[in-house]
Structure 1
Amino acid sequence: MASFFKDLWTRFSGAGGRDSASEPAAATVEYKGFRIRPAPYPSKGQYQTAGTIEKDCEGGVKEHRFVRAETHASKDDAVAFAIVKGKQIIDEQGEGIFT
């Protein structure tokens, strides 16, 4: 479990791991007034499902980061699944994800 959190921290802090600068960022998807930015990261030879949900609000941009337990053999599969999960989070929680 500690390794999971270390991998997560490494991904979101931008330190260590594979050279993420050499991997292009996944395209942002607009959905119901939110933006989903898939951000899978390498973990133990696979790609971890992760991303960010954003929305422009009166006080500025609100952001919610998510990481799921699912891993995928390819980055493309992880990106596609992160989009599905982002949509599911929006459908289930709406703007409640920011509270």
Structure 2
Amino acid sequence: MKAHNTVKLTILDRDYNVACPPESEAELKAAALQLHQKMTEIKGSGKVFGVERVAVMAALNLIHELRQKQVANQASNESIARLIGKIDAVLDDTDPV
């Protein structure tokens, strides 16, 4: 069993203690900072009230951004696969020297 560290995170002026493996601590802190920033942005807009609603809106926004990046990444992967196919076809058509 891997050892876990307890990491203190502050999100929207609230402290949370979260257990995570030592090798994941930096990424967890970066994720918490991103969440804090998104929640602060939403709260600052003055359109959403209540921490729970702010959290839900932040989660929806972050997941939407993630899904957009996944779609773009998939399109890039498909484009790269097509280019590799073209390169392979050209290489197959050339005579060995």
Return the structure number with greater relative CO, CA threshold 8 A, min gap 6: 1
Q: Which has the larger radius of gyration?
A: 2
TM-score range for the pair, normalised by the shorter chain length = 0.3 to 0.5
More helix by share: 2
For normalisation by structure 2, the TM-score amounts to 0.33
Give the alignment's TM-score, normalised by structure 1.
0.32
